[in-house]
Chain A
Amino acid sequence: MLKTEAIDVKRIRGDFPILKRKVHGKRLVYLDNAATTQKPQSVIDALVRFYSDYNSNVHRSVHTLGEEATAAYEGSREKVAKFVGGSAKGLVFVRGTTEATNLVRFAWGDRNVKKGDLLVSTLMEHHSNIVPWQLLAKSKGASLKFVGLQPDGTLDMGSFEDLLKESPRLVAVTHCSNVLGTINDVAAICSKAKKAGAVTLVDGAQSVPHMPVDIGGVGADFYAFSGHKMLGPTGIGALLARKSTLEEMEPFHGGGEMIKEVFPDHATWNEVPYKFEAGTVNIADAIGLGAAVDYLSAIGMDKVRKHEVLLLQYALETLSKVKGFHAYGPEDLRKRGGVISFNMADVHPHDLATILDEEGIAIRSGHHCAQLLMRWLDVAATSRASFQVYNSYDDIDALKGGLEKAGAIFKL
C-alpha cells in the first residue's frame, strides 16, 4: 500500500527525484533516514534559484541581489525558528547538531565550567553529545557522568535524580535516540535539571524531522538540530537558545560579521545571533532548509508523526516473523520514534547491509556513532532501518524479503 491513514506516499514520492533511481536494477528502498534524508524537488529548486537568480553575500551588500539574499536568508531563519516554536533572534545557523554542541562547549563552557564541576550526559547519546563534553571536562578539570538506561531502553530516571543531587553544571540529553528510537521526556528532564541549577542542552537531531516540537514546552537552555536529517541540505542546522542566554556567552568563531567594532587590542560583538555567525554564512543551504521546513509544514508534523508510528507498528509486526530477527528499543510506540535497530541471529550487520544493498535496500549498519549504547546493549553493532514521509508499507515488505534472503544465505 502506498499510503497510510496519515500520508499519501505515492504523491509524496513524486516530489523526490532520487526515488526514481534504481540500485542494482531494483527500486531504491531508502531506509537510512536517521543518517540523512533525501531531498524534495522544492529544496533542490531553492538552492538552484539562489545560485542562478540572486547569489550574493548577506547583510553587507546594499545592491539588489544582496538585499534579496539577505531577505531570503533571514526569512529562512524566521521559518525555521517558528517551525519549532522559537524566535529568530535566538536561532544561530550552524553546520549541524555537532557544530551546535561544540559551539556551546566553547562559547558557554569556557566561561561557566570550572574545576571540579560535574557535566551529565546519558548512555544513549550520539557521540556529538558526548565527546564535546569529554573535551570540555578534560580542559577544565571537570568530570562527566552518564545517566543509565532501563532494560526497555528508556532513561533510568532514578540514576538521573541521583546525579542531580551532585549539582551538575550541565545536563545534555537527546530528545530521541538515533539507535533505540526512545523519545525522552525532555520537558521533565529539563525542569528537574533546572531546579537542580543545571544548564540544559537537548539534541533534537532525531526529533525535529519526525514529530511536532515546541521548544518552549521543552524548556531547554539550548536546543539543536540538523537540516539534512529533515529533508534539507547538508551543512546547515540550528542552535536555539534564549536571546539573553546567547548575549551572556562568549563568541565561538572570531572574524567578519560577528563584530560591531574592531580596535587594535580588542573588539566588540555584533548583536545575537550574528555574534555567532562569523564569516560568510552558508546562505544557500539556510535558504534550502527554509524550503524543507515549508515542505514538512505543508504535510503537517502531526501527520508525519502519525505516519511513522503506523509504519513502526507494521514493521515490528512484520519483521518479527523473520527467523532470527531481534529488535531493540521501547515496545511502547508512544515513547518511540520511527527507528528500528535490530540484529539477525549471528549475521553481522555489515554482512546484512551488503546483502540488502543487492536488493536496492539502504539501511545503516554499525555503531551509529553511539558506542556507549552499543556496549550497554552488549553488541558490536546493529542494523538500523529508519523512516521518513516517503516510506510506506511496501518498503517494509521489501526489507522483510531482504532479511529472509540474508537468512537463507547464512542458513539460519
Chain B
Amino acid sequence: MSSADIYREIILDYYRNPRNFGKLAKFDIQSRDTNPLCGDEIEMQVKVGEGQKIEEIKFTGKGCAISQASASMLTELAKGKELGWVKELSKEDVFKMLGNPDLGPSRVKCALLGMKVLKTGVYGYLGANYEAADGSEG
C-alpha cells in the first residue's frame, strides 16, 4: 500500500470540496450509518423521480478523506441512474471509482460506507432488506 497512491489529488479534492454535500428539502429516501472504528458518518437523501430514477441526491457527513470522497463521488455517479443500478452496484465498482487504490483491510470500510448507506436506503425504499457488505473480505 502506498499512501501517495491512496491520497491522490482527486481524492483530496473531493474531501475538501465535496460535491452534492448538503440536504434536500424534499426527499423519498433517507439513510444514515457510521463506521464505529473511526467514527465516520454518512447520511444520504435521495429524491426519486420518474421511472424510479435518482432525480436528486445529497449527502452530509464527517470522517476521513476516503469515506467522504467516496460518498461524494458516489452521489455524482448515482445521479440520474435507476434504483436498480444501486442494487447492482458492487464493491469493485466503488474501488474502480476511487481509482483502485491499494487499501488495507482496515480502510476498506471507509471506502464502502457511502455505498452501504445508499444501498440500505434504496433497499428500504423498495421494501427489501440489504444485507450490508462489511467489506472485511476486501
Could you tell me if B104 and A409 are in contact, using CB atoms closer than 8 angstroms? no
Interface string of A362-374 (1 = CB under 8 A from B): 0001110000001
Determine whether A411 belongs to the interface, using a CB cutoff of 8 Å to chain B: yes
Complex interface: chain B residues within 8 A of A410 (CB): 7, 12, 65
Known: A346-B16, A348-B65. A409 touches B3 (CB 8 A): yes
Determine whether B64 belongs to the interface, using a CB cutoff of 8 Å to chain A: yes
Segment of A69-77, A97-105, A146-154, A350-358 engaged in the interface with chain B: A350-358
Summarize B's interface: helix, strand, loop or mixed. Answer: mixed
Minimum distance in angstroms from A377 CB to a CB of chain B: 12
- In the bound complex, what is the Cα–Cα distance between A374 and B38 (angstroms)? 12
Among A351, A374, A406, A410, max chain B CB count under 10 A is at A351
Minimum distance in angstroms from A139 CB to a CB of chain B: 24
B39: contacting residue among A347, A354, A374, CB under 8 A? A374
Determine whether B4 belongs to the interface, using a CB cutoff of 8 Å to chain A: yes
- In the bound complex, what is the Cα–Cα distance between A346 and B65 (angstroms)? 9
Known: A348-B64, A366-B37. A355 touches B16 (CB 8 A): no
Minimum distance in angstroms from B104 CB to a CB of chain A: 7
Determine whether A170 belongs to the interface, using a CB cutoff of 8 Å to chain B: no
Determine whether A232 belongs to the interface, using a CB cutoff of 8 Å to chain B: no
Known: A409-B4, A410-B12. A380 touches B39 (CB 8 A): yes
Could you tell me if B2 and A366 are in contact, using CB atoms closer than 8 angstroms? no
Could you tell me if A381 and B6 are in contact, using CB atoms closer than 8 angstroms? no
- In the bound complex, what is the Cα–Cα distance between A241 and B37 (angstroms)? 34
- In the bound complex, what is the Cα–Cα distance between A335 and B35 (angstroms)? 33
Interface string of A334-356 (1 = CB under 8 A from B): 00000000000011111100110
Interface string of B92-118 (1 = CB under 8 A from A): 000000000000100100100000000
Could you tell me if A350 and B3 are in contact, using CB atoms closer than 8 angstroms? no
Number of interface residues of A (CB under 8 A): 21
Complex interface: chain A residues within 8 A of B104 (CB): 354, 357
Complex interface: chain A residues within 8 A of B12 (CB): 410-411
Could you tell me if B3 and A358 are in contact, using CB atoms closer than 8 angstroms? yes
Complex interface: chain B residues within 8 A of A366 (CB): 37-39
Could you tell me if B65 and A351 are in contact, using CB atoms closer than 8 angstroms? yes
Closest to B37 in A: A366
- In the bound complex, what is the Cα–Cα distance between A405 and B12 (angstroms)? 15
Complex interface: chain A residues within 8 A of B107 (CB): 350, 354
Minimum distance in angstroms from B5 CB to a CB of chain A: 10
Could you tell me if A358 and B62 are in contact, using CB atoms closer than 8 angstroms? no
A349: contacting residue among B1, B7, B38, B41, CB under 8 A? B38
Could you tell me if A351 and B39 are in contact, using CB atoms closer than 8 angstroms? no
A409: contacting residue among B7, B38, B41, B66, CB under 8 A? B7
Complex interface: chain A residues within 8 A of B63 (CB): 348, 350, 380
- In the bound complex, what is the Cα–Cα distance between A76 and B47 (angstroms)? 64
Complex interface: chain B residues within 8 A of A405 (CB): 3
Closest to B68 in A: A348
Complex interface: chain A residues within 8 A of B37 (CB): 366
Complex interface: chain A residues within 8 A of B66 (CB): 350-351
Could you tell me if B16 and A350 are in contact, using CB atoms closer than 8 angstroms? no
- In the bound complex, what is the Cα–Cα distance between A374 and B16 (angstroms)? 22
Minimum distance in angstroms from A374 CB to a CB of chain B: 7
Closest to A381 in B: B39
- In the bound complex, what is the Cα–Cα distance between A200 and B6 (angstroms)? 48
Closest to A349 in B: B38
Interface string of B1-33 (1 = CB under 8 A from A): 111101100001000100000000000000000
A381: contacting residue among B1, B3, B38, B65, CB under 8 A? B38
Minimum distance in angstroms from B107 CB to a CB of chain A: 6
Complex interface: chain A residues within 8 A of B7 (CB): 351, 355, 409-410
Could you tell me if A365 and B3 are in contact, using CB atoms closer than 8 angstroms? no
Complex interface: chain B residues within 8 A of A381 (CB): 38-39
Could you tell me if A358 and B39 are in contact, using CB atoms closer than 8 angstroms? no
Interface string of A308-351 (1 = CB under 8 A from B): 00000000000000000000000000000000000000111111
Closest to B65 in A: A351
Closest to B62 in A: A380
- In the bound complex, what is the Cα–Cα distance between A365 and B39 (angstroms)? 10
Nearest 8 interchain pairs by C-beta: A348-B64, A350-B64, A350-B38, A355-B3, A380-B39, A351-B64, A351-B65, A381-B39
Pairs across A and B, CB under 8 Å, 21 listed: A346-B16, A347-B65, A348-B63, A348-B64, A348-B65, A350-B40, A350-B63, A350-B66, A350-B107, A350-B110, A351-B64, A351-B65, A354-B1, A355-B7, A358-B2, A366-B38, A367-B39, A380-B41, A409-B3, A409-B7, A410-B65
Question: Hey, which bits of chain B sit against chain A, CB under 8 A?
Answer: 1-4, 6-7, 12, 16, 37-41, 62-66, 104, 107, 110
| Apart from A366-B37, A410-B65: 19 A-B pairs, beta carbons within 8 A | A348-B38, A348-B63, A348-B65, A349-B38, A349-B64, A350-B40, A350-B64, A350-B66, A350-B107, A351-B7, A351-B66, A358-B3, A365-B38, A366-B38, A366-B39, A374-B39, A380-B41, A405-B3, A409-B3
